Structure 1
């Protein structure tokens, strides 16, 4: 059977929150209360009962993985139609390569916009975000068009629909053959959320995750996987920039250092790498993440910034700052993005937002873009060079 997202009500403030399948706990977006998710699903019960038993964690995860694989296989075989069972999108056929895209260009990008067509939590601006980012990369930063891989629900090629499998393949393509001097971009516009951290590598006890279009059946993509796929392989002299326009995306790449900046622009670097015995840095390259908001915050899909066209507030503010002031520093970029959101009051959600956000979010919950990195640096002297 299909495991669907469900709504739960916060026991403290009463707000209803959409929760993806297999989530054990989630922060309330309004009051930040930790909401424990009760379920009759034996997988969820197994995770809950053993979450304090570190010595048995490996066996638990292996059991859960095997059970999920069996459930997915059963769902697919029982359909008899060869479709994914999610909306009207066909299941992508296995493809050995992403032809005709080059895996060896010195500038490469993966742009992923997930709209969730046909769902109650549909987003209106994600495809616009991807189109704007593609134009910006080609026209302003000199990225070759045949080295930009675009995944949206508007694509006719099934291998370019933003399913979990296709996103995974695209991320592997991004770093394939990467060498010194290469510049890589990963841009994601879509939903994000959190779940309890089971391998104990998170400072706040929660993993962050992205929602593919088929997350209801295939599950989400955890920050641990994103880090191991595109961060750790990055060689000396290569650069990776992730621009992630999603809720709860502050540490979505699991990078070791998080920049904490106050409203006046003063900053310090927090070391999150010491929390984990697992190495979260690169193989010598530089990885930088610019995210829409902190891990406990939400991001906005709105028309308040660009007029009639819906966009992600973070994507819009990033492109505006980067193209209006070429050669700006990371500090100037981050401050400009934050100021744009403050000036248009989307940080307080006073602009038009999606109906789901209107129902779920508190009007005073602020969206503040974040910066994290594989290494520390002076953000006011180091220039943003993608």
Structure 2
């Protein structure tokens, strides 16, 4: 018979096996100790006392970040994940810069509190912030945990994306889209069904989530029901991507919008700058550029600006080596040539993309 105890840190109910005096929480990693019955008097003196366990390392995913209480208009929270897969055959050049630039944009342009942003990169020293599959899952759980009307949430991912065969018949193209955490070769990828269940379906009325996904095969990686199919002149129609099973893949009343780097059958590119310091993902660069150049008024203006920039952007972005990372990436440079990818917009419900204001 298992006994239920609450985690000493996040209060999640845990099943305690018989004759166990401590248990580790799978969500926040805290160790909960359960008082054992006192030993018989004649045996007490024979027992060796173990040194007391040290305090568990606090997990950033088990509670709201420290800081002032939420403002009246709601909280702003973000998870930013940039994976370079360094020292492997999968190495990418621009993903760490993508993460840094997105954090800069959120703090300085959209007034996200730095304490409400969780960064997952290989540069982090906190073991909970290395972009492993477990940590990315927990960060997504943290992002939507306790959300309330008025909250603005954001998930940015720059790294490898992939796809795998879908045998349930729920995907229009027959494939599930996936994200590849740092340890995907041993722990597996994160499938779009899981992402949808984690951060889309739980969202209540009044909560808004934006996803910025700079990865290959990322068009419908949040499994949102509707995709905005836009042509080169800016005209668009909404495609119905609801599963044939009838399962609702939208929210519980909230709003979700996802900008992704390319269609499900396309790949996303890095930009190879004249200096290594300016290497970024093409999609992230064009999204930031659209905002900085005043094209961020509506969802349609952002998508149109990104798609136009991708079509005309070359693999070389001008600028001097001495130019700072943020200045270079937020102001852009000369472009030439073209990239073969088309940024996409998906959402929970169809809407007029040229009249709905964009805000974070």
Distance 1:294 1:305 in 2: 28
Distance 2:250 2:182 in 1: 29
Q: Please report the RMSD computed on the Cα atoms of aligned residues, expressed in angstroms.
A: 2.4
1:116 aligns with 2:85: yes
> Can you list the C-alpha shifts for 1:114-162, whole angstroms capped at 9, x where unaligned?
1111111201111100000000000000100000000000000111000
Q: Distance in 1 between matches of 2:113 and 2:96?
A: 20
Is the CA contact (8 Å cut-off) linking 1:192 and 1:211 kept in structure 2? Answer: yes
User: Secondary structure of the residue that 1:315 maps to in structure 2?
Assistant: helix
Distance in 2, matches of 1:97 and 1:325, equals 34
Provide the C-alpha distance between the structure 2 equivalents of 1:231 and 1:99, rounded to a whole number of angstroms: 20
- Which residue is equivalent to 1:82? none
Aligned residue for 1:374? Answer: 348
Correspondence 1:246 to 2:215: yes
**Aligned positions, number:** 281
* TM-score using structure 2 length: 0.74
Distance 2:341 2:105 in 1: 23
2 CA distance for matches of 1:208 and 1:94?
33
Partner of residue 133, structure 1: 102
Higher normalized helix content (fraction of residues): 1
Asked whether 1:168 is paired with 2:142, we answer no
Alignment partner for residue 101 of structure 1, among 65, 69, 86? 65
Aligned to 2:287: 318
| 1:224 pairs with 2:198 | no
Give TM-score scaled by structure 1 length: 0.69
Structure 2: give runs of 5+ residues left out of the alignment: 1-56, 319-336
What pairs up with 1:43-62 in 2 under 5 angstroms?
none
- For residues 190-227 of structure 1, give each alpha carbon's deviation from its aligned partner in whole angstroms, at most 9, with x where no partner exists: 00000001222110000000000000110000000000
Offset, 1:379: 0.3
Distance 1:96 1:302, change over 3 A: closer
Relative distance call for 1:380 and 1:204 in structure 2 (3 A) is same
Contact kept in structure 2, 1:305 and 1:316, CA below 8 Å: no
Following TM superposition, by how much is the alpha carbon of 1:324 offset from its aligned partner in structure 2, in angstroms?
Answer: 2.2
Q: 1:97 to 1:260 in 2, by over 3 A?
A: closer
Runs of 4+ in 1 over 2 A off after TM superposition: 93-105, 274-277, 303-308
Offset from partner CA, 1:236-256 (integer Å, 9 cap, x none): 011000000000000000000
Equivalent of residue 154 in structure 1, options 111, 114, 123: 123
Question: Contact 2:172–2:243 at 8 Å: present in 1 too?
Answer: no
Q: Deviations over 1:12-32 (max 9, x none)?
A: xxxxxxxxxxxxxxxxxxxxx
User: Aligned pair in 2 of structure 1 residues 149, 98: CA closer, same or farther (>3 Å)?
Assistant: farther
Larger radius of gyration: 2
Q: Which residue of 1 aligns with 2:244?
A: 275
Provide closer, same or farther for how the CA distance between residues 378 and 118 of structure 1 changes in structure 2, counting only shifts above 3 A: same
The CA deviation at 1:293 is 0.2
Work out the CA distance in 2 between the residues paired with 1:153 and 1:249: 22
| Partner-residue secondary structure (3-state), 1:275 | coil
Give the corresponding residue for 1:289: 258
Offset of residue 345 of structure 1: 3.2
Look up the match of 2:44: none
Report the 3-state secondary structure (helix = DSSP H, G, I; strand = E; otherwise coil) of the residue aligned with 1:273.
Answer: coil
1:100 and 1:146 in contact (8 A); partners too:
no
